[in-house]
């Protein structure tokens, strides 16, 4: 069995869906489990729906009808007059979604509401693709991944309960997947009370890896609109090149520091089960792409990752005492409670500096919590974090770094150099 994962860009319009159907039928469909994301930018639109719902904005119904219209036009193009016959279920999902955002009882916990709402992007897209495959004579079974991926209730960043998930996947999903082409969703799971949960933005890669591991798949393929994993983002750096092979550790490091091709959590399950990952182009399926496994050499070209919109929290004690173990324990507890990941950190005797993504003002509650204590925090916004993995330090590289901004923090971790730039 093999796992395929198609992201939102691959199903952003009707011709995308047709292309996905072609790729599926070119494989051995009955031996595939296919994870499909929400279409195009649907998840972003659903995020603004959550926002409108939570803050009771009057844009709510407009967002909903735009979503309905964009999906309807893809459906019309794919099915024409026979649309109702094939995708009856989609209308029902929109009704459910409408009822959900109208239900005032669900609107006091933002993260909970978010998870109940955004999963509709994947539910709808997988229904459409599954129906289209059937209409083309490609037999498949649509399954709701919430029945299999069981998680805790850390909404928007749920943790998988591996024991329970393995049990249901083995008992319930494996027998189905051995016989049929399975179409399912990524990114979502089910919490302890039977509610929807999500694994974090772009989490479908991770779902594909979970299914890969638990179904003992031969391989996992992530189909992208790029040729494979590049050594830098071609939109930000000149002279980039495609990487043919990465070890699992290379891939984990690159994903962790922000190479956006692979979701950071994807590699661990695959490494544990020694399942190769392929990153291939859905625009040209004959290209070899990138392979991630431990059977080839580690990457040898320097890889550059530039993360923008970073901010640095400079944390010190109000009485100029040392930042010691007790402060650190308190600081990291607050980070964890607020679900904030530190990209890099550095400490001196009296100051701890942490660089984080500047996301939705998520650091504000953190500032509040810490300022109640004996700590003082300065925030520096508008920073970039440049990581050079496997650097060859030469003059040319140094020049390029200076071209990007002034270095505020510089760190060498052996396999990588990090620069915080302003
Ligand atoms: N649809 C979700 C997102 O856009 C999950 C995914 O695509 O991986 O974040
Ligand atoms: Mg997506």
pLDDT tens digit string along 159-169? 999 999 999 99
DSSP alpha helix (H) spans, 155-297: 162-168, 174-179, 204-214, 248-256, 267-273
For the chain, the structural domain boundaries read 2-217, 303-421
pLDDT of residue 392: 79
Angle between helices 363-371 and 325-337 (to 10 degrees): 140
| Termini Cα distance of the chain | 48
pLDDT of residue 373: 79
In angstroms, the CA 194 to CA 77 distance is 35
Atom of ligand 1 nearest to the CA of 198: 5
User: CB-based contacts of 109: which residues, under 8 Å, 6+ apart?
Assistant: 155
pLDDT of residue 75: 97
40 CB within 6 A, ligand 1 = no
Of residues 295 and 372, the one with the higher pLDDT is 295
Residue nearest to atom 8 of ligand 1 (CA): 202
Q: Quick one: which of 29, 39, 32 has its CA closest to 4? A: 32
Q: Quick one: which of 138, 144, 24 has its CA closest to 86? A: 138
In angstroms, the CA 182 to CA 140 distance is 6
- The 10s digit of each residue's pLDDT in 299-319 is 989 999 999 999 999 999 888
In angstroms, the CA 369 to CA 47 distance is 26
Residue nearest to atom 6 of ligand 1 (CA): 202
Q: Quick one: which of 341, 391, 342 has its CA closest to 232? A: 391
Token couple for 252:
């984990």
In angstroms, the CA 304 to CA 254 distance is 9
Residue of 37, 47, 261 best suited for mutating to test ligand 1, as the one with most atoms within 8 Å of CB: 37
Token couple for 325:
């173990």
The class that CATH gives domain 2-217 is alpha beta
Atom of ligand 1 nearest to the CA of 44: 4
In angstroms, the CA 21 to CA 11 distance is 10
Ligand number nearest CA of 204 is 1
Backbone angles phi, psi at 151, to 5 degrees: -135, 175
Do the domains at 2-217 and 303-421 have one common CATH topology?
Answer: no
Ligand 2 centre to CA of 241 (Å) is 24
37 CB within 6 A, ligand 1 = yes
pTM: 0.91
Of residues 164 and 413, the one with the higher pLDDT is 164
Q: Quick one: which of 54, 63, 62, 4 has its CA closest to 33? A: 4
In angstroms, the CA 107 to CA 52 distance is 11
Transcribe 91-156 into DSSP letters: HHHHHHHHHHHH-GGGTT-HHHHHHHHHHHHHHHHHHHHHHHHHHTT---EE--GGGT-BB-S-TT
Over residues 169-198, the mean pLDDT reads 98
Length of the chain: 422
User: CB-based contacts of 73: which residues, under 8 Å, 6+ apart?
Assistant: none
Atom of ligand 1 nearest to the CA of 122: 1
Token couple for 398:
């140094």
Residue nearest to atom 3 of ligand 1 (CA): 202
Backbone angles phi, psi at 212, to 5 degrees: -60, -50
pLDDT of residue 395: 43
Atom of ligand 1 nearest to the CA of 187: 5
Ligand 1 centre to CA of 188 (Å) is 9
Backbone angles phi, psi at 44, to 5 degrees: -60, -45
Of residues 375 and 186, the one with the higher pLDDT is 186
In angstroms, the CA 116 to CA 195 distance is 7
Confidence check: pLDDT of 396 > 60: no
Ligand 2 centre to CA of 38 (Å) is 6
Q: Quick one: which of 117, 84, 87, 297 has its CA closest to 197? A: 117
Ligand number nearest CA of 201 is 1
Ligand 2 centre to CA of 10 (Å) is 9
Token couple for 389:
């993995």
- Mean pLDDT, the chain, as a whole number? 93
167 CB within 6 A, ligand 1 = no
Superfamily of domain 303-421: VC0802-like (3.30.2130.10)
């Amino acid at each position: 069995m093999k796992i395929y994962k198609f992201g939102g860009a691959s199903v952003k319009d009707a011709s995308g869906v047709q292309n996905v159907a072609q790729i599926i039928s070119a494989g051995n469909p009955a031996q595939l489990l296919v994870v499909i994301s929400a279409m195009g930018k649907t998840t972003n639109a659903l995020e603004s729906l959550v926002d409108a719902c939570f803050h009771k904005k009057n844009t709510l119904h407009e967002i909903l009808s735009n979503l309905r219209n964009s999906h309807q036009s893809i459906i019309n193009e794919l099915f024409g007059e026979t649309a109702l016959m094939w995708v009856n279920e989609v209308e029902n999902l929109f009704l459910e979604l409408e009822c959900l955002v109208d239900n005032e009882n669900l609107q006091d916990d933002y993260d909970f509401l978010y998870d109940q709402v955004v999963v509709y992007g994947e539910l709808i897209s997988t229904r459409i693709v599954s129906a289209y495959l059937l209409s083309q004579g490609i037999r498949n079974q649509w399954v709701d991944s919430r029945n299999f991926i069981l998680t805790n209730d850390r909404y928007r960043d749920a943790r998988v309960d591996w024991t329970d998930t393995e049990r249901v996947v083995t008992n319930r999903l494996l027998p189905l997947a051995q016989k049929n082409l399975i179409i399912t969703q990524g990114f979502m799971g089910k919490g302890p009370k039977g509610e929807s949960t999500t694994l974090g933005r772009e989490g479908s890669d991770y779902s594909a890896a979970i299914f890969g591991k638990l179904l003992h798949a031969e391989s996992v393929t992530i189909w992208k609109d790029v040729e494979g994993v590049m050594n830098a983002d071609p939109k930000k750096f000149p002279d980039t090149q495609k990487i043919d092979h990465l070890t699992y550790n290379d891939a984990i490091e690159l994903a962790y520091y922000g190479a956006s091709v692979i979701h950071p959590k994807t590699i661990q399950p695959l490494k544990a089960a020694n399942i190769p990952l392929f990153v291939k182009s859905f625009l040209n399926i004959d290209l070899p792409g990138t392979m991630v496994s431990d059977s080839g050499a580690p990457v040898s070209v320097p890889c550059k990752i530039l993360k923008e919109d970073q901010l640095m929290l400079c944390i010190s004690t109000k009485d100029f005492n040392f930042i010691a173990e007790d402060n650190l324990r308190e600081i990291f507890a607050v980070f964890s409670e607020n679900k904030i990941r530190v990209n890099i950190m550095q400490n001196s005797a009296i100051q701890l500096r942490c660089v984080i993504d500047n996301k939705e003002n998520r650091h504000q509650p953190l500032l509040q919590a810490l300022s109640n204590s004996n700590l003082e925090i300065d925030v520096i916004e508008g920073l970039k974090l440049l990581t050079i993995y496997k650097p060859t330090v030469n003059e040319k590289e140094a020049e390029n770094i200076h071209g990007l901004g002034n270095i505020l923090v510089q760190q060498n971790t052996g396999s990588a150099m990090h620069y915080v730039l302003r």
